[in-house]
Amino acid sequence: MTRKTRRLWLVIACVACLGTAATLVLRAFSSDIVFFVTPSQVAASPPPKDRTVKLGGMVVAGSVHRERHGETPVATFDVTDGQAAVSVHYEGILPDLFREGQSVVAIGTANSAHDFTASEVLAKHDETYMPKEVAEALKKSGKWDPRFGPPPSAASWNSMTVQDARKDMTAPAAAPAPAQTTTQPAP
Amino acid sequence: MSASPTLVARTGSFFHRYANPGRFLKLGARLQPWLTWPAIILTLTGLGWGLFFSPADWQQGDSVRIMYIHVPAAMLASGGYAGLAVCAVLSLVWRHPLADLAAVEIGPVGACITALCLATGSLWGKPMWGTWWVWDARLTSVLVLFFLYLGHITLIRAFDDPQRGYRAAAILALAGAVDLPIIKFSVQWWNTLHQPDSITLTGAPTMSSSMLWPLALSTLGISLGFAALVLARTRAAVMESRIQALLSSPRRNQGTAA
């Protein structure tokens, strides 16, 4: 074994040891590294009332109630992970991206298993990037409602919207019907 | 094990062909314009397309355009550190002199691009998430990467004997490489505020092609620019060390004394 080979194995061994150590540490602290807890975790074991918790999940469609108490806007909405829902109460201005169906992280305290008071609400957006026109076309054609989940796969956007555009173009020529009826797709 | 010494020797001789400074300078001078000009053209095209002609996102609006700088910067922050780790192996195992010089030069460029990634990410986070900074796994691991770069820059210049600095910095670069998979997979292993990757090796991109193309161009352009900067700096360092050697050579000292 030459000196270079020995050095190579030494380097490989050191990196392997270090990698293993890092993996073990990260596994051990996994529950502390997560940025937020899910509603089902809160429902299963409600955290102590004096502890600040970050609650992450999707805003349930139709659950948002906005009011004004004097100058401050007050919002109540449900956050779900699909298994449990927690009702969040928040005084303050919600971020621009906040909407029904959006993922949010509410920072605050849990009053009970299903009741949460937030001092701060962050909007979390997903990894989908979609032009406005495509989103409008998908929503209009009824193929996607942002309130009820993620959009269809990006590969299908083009074919879907092009089909709709063709339908829009050919339909009025074939039968001069009102625009509203032609844009409604056959189920 | 029986094949490994020859493999190690062969790899070593392949890299040592370019350890000759003269050969490296010749190759570098020929390579430089092929990196610099495509880098400038592709970056300007990609950024111009992304900033002015690509569509706005349906929910993020025009803020999405930060992506065309942020994503290439983030990729190169990790990529640059991977380059440092490769240089570290070449330096520790094969004692390759150019690997040390390249490591000296990659550090500052990588630190700058990591700072750019953090700054643009922060500027993007405020309007979208509602916060400049959170301590989630992705953001924290990239901040750690930035500090690793700073540590490397300091360590490699900290010794009077440069060889000791090269050795210490190479060990730091290798140890710090543990952070790279953590950055990459942080958004999958733990729940984070940062969204998962839109572009993956295995799945189709979750991005409209009208945004993907300018992003691909600017990523390619900025990557080539990174390589061009590192190459130019390494060439300058080799020339500088040659001039130093000439200036301190005994013949010249005799000449000035006479």
CB atoms A35 and B137 under 8 Å: yes
Residue B60 is assigned to a structural domain of this protein: no
Nearest neighbour of A35 by CB, restricted to B127, B191, B206: B191
Collect all residues of chain B within an 8 Å Cβ-Cβ radius of residue A33: 137, 190
Domain residues for the domain of B138 are: 23-55+65-196+212-244
Collect all residues of chain A within an 8 Å Cβ-Cβ radius of residue B55: 131-133
| Interface with chain A: mutation pick from B58, B145, B209, highest number of A CBs within 10 Å | B58
**Best CA proximity match to B169, nearest among B82, B87, B58, B69:** B87
Distances (CA, A) of B128 to B61, B64, B194: 10, 9, 11
Do the beta carbons of residue B71 and residue B219 sit within 8 Å?
A: yes
The nearest CA of chain B is from the CA of A150 a distance in Å of 11
**Best CA proximity match to A151, nearest among A170, A177, A124, A129:** A129
CB atoms B137 and A38 under 8 Å: no
Residue B8 is assigned to a structural domain of this protein: no
Domain boundaries, given as residue ranges, for chain A: 3-32, 34-124, 132-183
CB atoms A18 and B178 under 8 Å: yes
Residue B74 is assigned to a structural domain of this protein: yes
| A129 annotated ligand binder | yes
Per-residue pLDDT tens digits of chain B, which is 258 residues long: 444 556 777 776 776 666 778 888 999 999 999 999 999 999 999 999 999 998 888 888 888 999 999 999 999 999 999 999 999 999 999 888 889 999 999 999 999 999 999 999 999 999 888 899 999 899 999 999 999 999 999 999 999 898 999 999 999 999 999 999 999 999 888 888 898 888 887 777 888 888 899 999 999 999 999 999 999 999 999 998 889 888 887 766 665 544
Residue B148 is assigned to a structural domain of this protein: yes
What ipTM was assigned to the predicted interfaces of this complex? 0.77
Q: What is the DSSP string of A113-182?
A: TTEEEEEEEEEE--S-B-BHHHHHHHHHTTS--GGGSPPPPHHHHHHHHHHHHHHHHHHHHHS---HHHH
Can you give the pTM of this predicted structure? 0.85
Do the beta carbons of residue A79 and residue A58 sit within 8 Å?
A: yes
Collect all residues of chain A within an 8 Å Cβ-Cβ radius of residue B170: none
The nearest CA of chain A is from the CA of B105 a distance in Å of 23
The nearest CA of chain B is from the CA of A105 a distance in Å of 8
| A90 annotated ligand binder | no
CATH topology of domain A34-124: OB fold (Dihydrolipoamide Acetyltransferase, E2P) (2.40.50)
The nearest CA of chain A is from the CA of B104 a distance in Å of 20
| Interface with chain B: mutation pick from A127, A158, A160, A162, highest number of B CBs within 10 Å | A127
Tell me whether A82 touches chain B (CB under 8 Å).
no
Number of structural domains found in chain B: 1
Residue B115 is assigned to a structural domain of this protein: yes
